[in-house]
Structure 1
Amino acid sequence: MNQIHQTGNEVAYLSVGTGTPIIFLHGLALDHHSTVEFFEPFLKDSDYRRIYIDLPGMGETAALTSATSDQILESIMIAIREVVGNQKFIIYGHSFGGYLARATVSRFPNQILGMFLTCPVITADHTKRKVGKHVNIIQESVTPAANQDYWDDFLDMNVVINQASWQAYQRLIIPGLQNADLSFINKLEATDYQLSCDSEIREIQFPFPLEIMVGKNDHVVGYQEQSELVNHSSLAKLVLLNQAGHNLMIDQPEAVRVQLKQFLDDLTL
């Protein structure tokens, strides 16, 4: 079992393998399980150092005294600087993690080799987002023998309903929900979710390869606003998936694996 490390500012992370670093930033109220459990099975023999971070108030990283996205971002920037130093790196972000990943560009202008995002937050105010319509596509009958308390959330968040997706939800999502500091997260969402540099990162240009994957049934962050980011890089690509919602890696796991592998193969390291 890989050991959880802590940076000097007490950000917990898991570091696996050696080579060019990939920083993984998970979504809100999740933790490193949502990234490790999905990516490690097909990256375990790769020539990359995989760094799976727990955001403050989530997983093994304690909540900050101030529940603001600015403070979370600052904490993560300090941690990344400590963990990768002056090395060039790749960054991945999902949902809120994608929002933070976009904000790293101005902090590491000459170190980011590429950015891969799934369902990234574009508009912080959830009441102003252009979201998709959530549906359930029931492919087979599933009886939740364990974790029945999370079954409704599974149906609310996932589009493709089958035994495999329920099992994946239990591995990727439930550990983070169980460990999240909900008081901290609720304060964050209620008051200071928007980054102070929000307008800046909406305009920033990406001088490196960028790939964004979104689901047409994403009722949390949507898919239309994300397409505008493609105009911010001559090396950008948008992949829109049908029958996929905000838990994209669970609804369409093979598509995400194929796209990430291709993205990494195409990078000039």
Structure 2
Amino acid sequence: MEAEAGGVAVHYAEHGSGFPVVALHGAGVDHREMLGALEPVFRERPGYRRVYPDLPGMGRTPVPDWFRGSDDVLELLLGLIDVVVGEEEFAIAGHSFGGYLARGVAARRPAQVAGLAMICPIGEEARDVPAHAVLHASADVTGVLSPAEQDQYRDYFVIQTPDTLRRFREHVAPALPLVDADGLGRMSERWRLSDVPPDAPPYAGPTLILAGRQDSTAGYAGPWELVERYPRATYAVLDRAGHALPHEQPALFTALVTEWLDRVDERGHGGRLTD
């Protein structure tokens, strides 16, 4: 599906009906990674309309020549939300760079965002980021992945099993050749979002922050510092999980996202309203 926002044709996938949940992927992939991570959560949970956009320069959404930073991406997302969601309340979840953007959406639309989930979110200042270390390797990639894909897989996953290899092939690898490297390079010129006004109140909705203990991209110390900004935040750091946490710990990921949705529903929002 496509929707025009800010003069850009934004491609997105949509599943289900009901309360909207907007899911934002990270850099270098497309909507299929978040779709693969979240759809198992909703398999036994009807009543949600899941919207998975391709961010600019990834998937089938182009990056305009004038894009120079994350503020431009955030404005595009807010325009897309106006078109696809309208004035209805919604929950938002994001992985990596998508988690950073989700924070920006919640800061700009606190009254409309009913819940915020950040998975391995990057931040302005990454610290104490561990070196990449593979904890388990039993997947045979010979003849299955191209040399470039093998490098991506080995650099991304700390748990390399037949199951994570399958997830990589289904939800990550198809997006790699679609990345507009030049466009992403332009957007990285000003990747920090503009500061939220210092007198802005903290986002008070149900929040989930998930970090991988072995995440060599975002680490877990930076995400922990976000807890003080979100008074309704659950924070969990998962062992045997790097930046590919949703693929490496799918059962825990599903359980924690399900609990987050329960908290969103407690406020009277979502697909399963409380009595």
C-alpha contact (below 8 Å) 1:15/1:49 kept by paired residues: yes
Normalising by the residue count of structure 1, what TM-score does the alignment of the two structures yield? 0.90
Aligned to 2:61: 61
C-alpha contact (below 8 Å) 2:3/2:84 kept by paired residues: no
Residue type of the alignment partner of 1:117: M
Aligned to 1:258: 255
| Number of residues of Structure 1 aligned to a counterpart in Structure 2 | 261
Aligned to 2:215: 218
Cα distance change of structure 1 residues 145 and 204 upon mapping to structure 2, 3 Å threshold: farther
Cα distance change of structure 1 residues 217 and 200 upon mapping to structure 2, 3 Å threshold: farther
Cα distance change of structure 1 residues 251 and 110 upon mapping to structure 2, 3 Å threshold: same
C-alpha contact (below 8 Å) 2:94/2:118 kept by paired residues: yes
C-alpha contact (below 8 Å) 1:131/1:222 kept by paired residues: yes
Q: Distance in 2 between matches of 1:165 and 1:26?
A: 18
C-alpha contact (below 8 Å) 1:223/1:240 kept by paired residues: yes
Aligned to 1:85: 86
Residue type of the alignment partner of 1:242: D
C-alpha contact (below 8 Å) 2:202/2:231 kept by paired residues: no
Residue type of the alignment partner of 2:166: Q
Q: Distance in 2 between matches of 1:49 and 1:15?
A: 7
Q: Distance in 2 between matches of 1:69 and 1:99?
A: 9
Q: Deviations over 1:161-213 (max 9, x none)?
A: 11111111111211222211111112323x2111223x659x86111011100
Cα distance change of structure 1 residues 67 and 175 upon mapping to structure 2, 3 Å threshold: farther
Aligned to 2:133: 135
SS at match of 1:7: strand
Report whether the alignment pairs 1:6 with 2:3: yes
C-alpha contact (below 8 Å) 2:107/2:203 kept by paired residues: no
Report the Cα offset of residue 53 of structure 1: 0.9
C-alpha contact (below 8 Å) 2:34/2:95 kept by paired residues: no
SS at match of 1:86: coil
Cα distance change of structure 1 residues 134 and 178 upon mapping to structure 2, 3 Å threshold: same
Report the Cα offset of residue 234 of structure 1: 2.5
C-alpha contact (below 8 Å) 1:123/1:129 kept by paired residues: no
C-alpha contact (below 8 Å) 1:16/1:49 kept by paired residues: yes
Aligned alpha-carbon RMSD (Å): 2.0
Q: Distance in 2 between matches of 1:38 and 1:106?
A: 24
C-alpha contact (below 8 Å) 1:94/1:118 kept by paired residues: yes
Normalising by the residue count of structure 2, what TM-score does the alignment of the two structures yield? 0.89
Bigger shift: 148-157 or 26-35? 148-157
Identical positions, percent: 30
C-alpha contact (below 8 Å) 1:92/1:98 kept by paired residues: yes
SS at match of 1:103: helix
Aligned to 1:172: 171
C-alpha contact (below 8 Å) 1:17/1:44 kept by paired residues: no
1:1-269 map, 5 Å: 4-8=1-5, 9=7, 10-44=9-43, 46-65=46-65, 66-123=67-124, 129-149=127-147, 150-189=149-188, 191-197=189-195, 200=197, 205-267=202-264, 268=266, 269=269
Report the Cα offset of residue 130 of structure 1: 3.1
Cα distance change of structure 1 residues 51 and 222 upon mapping to structure 2, 3 Å threshold: same
Cα distance change of structure 1 residues 218 and 147 upon mapping to structure 2, 3 Å threshold: same
Report the Cα offset of residue 67 of structure 1: 3.1
C-alpha contact (below 8 Å) 1:93/1:101 kept by paired residues: yes
Q: Distance in 2 between matches of 1:153 and 1:214?
A: 20
Cα distance change of structure 1 residues 158 and 6 upon mapping to structure 2, 3 Å threshold: same
Q: Distance in 1 between matches of 2:56 and 2:139?
A: 37
SS at match of 1:37: helix
Q: Distance in 2 between matches of 1:260 and 1:7?
A: 30
